[in-house]
Amino acid sequence: MTTHFDINHYRIEQEPYYQAQQNEVALYEAAYAARLPVMLKGPTGCGKSRFVEYMAWKLGKPLITVACNEDMTASDLVGRYLLDSNGTRWLDGPLTLAARHGAICYLDEIVEARQDTTVVIHPLTDHRRCLPLDKKGELIAAHADFQMVISYNPGYQSLMKDLKQSTKQRFIAFDFDYPSQETETAIVARETGLDAERAHLLVRVGHAARNLKGHGLDEGVSTRLLVYAATLMVSGVSADDACQLALIRPITDDAEIRSTLEHAIQAIFG
């Protein structure tokens, strides 16, 4: 039994808000025109996923996103046989769907997946542009519109959690970082409706926290968390409580670091 699949289900109908920082939009368009595999590198919550969504919308291409994790198997990506009342049927995985139907396949935080899982993308990221389905005995030639995109946070790299060079060197790479204060203020205000003055103060808190990275914090406050704090403030929560809930408690349990951030909030908001 064949189940009807509609790739249009994965199209992004409304424009995602994305504030370009440099010329990454034009560069990605060039990469897509050549169907080059793309790797996005940058800290958590800095806009990598939003950028992919925006580019899929701008290019008018469907986007299939996979949140990678350490339990993900090759079958989770490629597909598997399932038993049902009519017997055995094959179910395509997200990678196979994208390759077969011409979507952008986005593997988010790929280093979270096991290395023996990620090697299945190799034939799709070189001149072959194909995907072997060994269990099914099928070789899929990637659709002309297919593109592979992966992302990860280099700040969390380790000997046990990094991409093999044999994988890295199949991609062109974009470096992402947190926006400038001016750009980030515009993003926070635009995303939440918070007035520009308070949005700017929140961004200053975020930058103060990022200065503690490597000095007690593993990672700075993300743009995403600033948006959360602004959302709370728009709903009537005080700046102090919003910062506690969104900017301090999620990122550290260290009493000294929390105290340092609380003092920064008081100094900035008054």
What CATH number has the domain bearing residue 148? Answer: 3.40.50.300
Same domain for 141 and 97? yes
Same domain for 60 and 120? yes
* Domains of the chain: total: 2
Domain enclosing residue 39, as ranges: 7-175
Same domain for 138 and 21? yes
Domain boundary among 175, 193, 223: 175
Same domain for 207 and 165? no
Domain boundary among 127, 146, 175: 175
The answer to whether residue 1 is domain-embedded is no
Q: Which residues of the chain have pLDDT under 70?
A: 1-4, 156-160
Same domain for 197 and 76? no
- The secondary structure of the chain as a DSSP string is -PPP--GGGG---SPPP---SSSHHHHHHHHHHTT--EEEE--TTSSHHHHHHHHHHHHT--EEEEE--TT--HHHHHEEEEEETTEEEEEE-HHHHHHHHT-EEEEETGGGS-HHHHGGGGGGSSTT-EEEETTTTEEEEPPTT-EEEEEE-GGG--SSSS--HHHHTTSEEEE--PPPHHHHHHHHHHHH---HHHHHHHHHHHHHHHTTBTTTBSS---HHHHHHHHHHHHTT--HHHHHIIIIITTT---HHHHHHHHHHHHHHH-
The per-residue pLDDT for 156 is 61
The per-residue pLDDT for 216 is 78
The answer to whether residue 201 is domain-embedded is yes
Record the pTM: 0.89
The per-residue pLDDT for 205 is 96
The per-residue pLDDT for 1 is 42
The per-residue pLDDT for 227 is 97
The per-residue pLDDT for 23 is 96
